[in-house]
Amino acid sequence: MKVRLLTGMAGINFSHNAGDEIDCNEAEANRFIEAGIAEAIAAAPTKIERATKKMKVRKAVSEE
């Protein structure tokens, strides 16, 4: 479950700032939300970014 932190927090192997979006298990996410240090993020479908521009395809037609 993804949550957005409302406050910063740090531990031995991690450091998160306020506003960071982190992925954690559901039990931990619920504890953070109930404690008021995080808010749930709705899972939005990810949009695939394309590196190329779509171009119109034109065919050459010979007139005889």
* pLDDT tens-place string over residues 1-58: 899 999 999 999 999 999 999 999 999 999 999 999 999 998 766 777 778 877 788 7
Structural domain harbouring 30: 2-40
**Cβ–Cβ contacts within 10 Å for residue 37, how many?**
15
Is 12 contained in some domain? yes
Is 20 contained in some domain? yes
| Cβ(48)–Cβ(24) below 8 Å | no
Is 57 contained in some domain? no
DSSP at 48: P
How many folded domains does the chain comprise?
A: 1
Does the pTM exceed 0.85? no
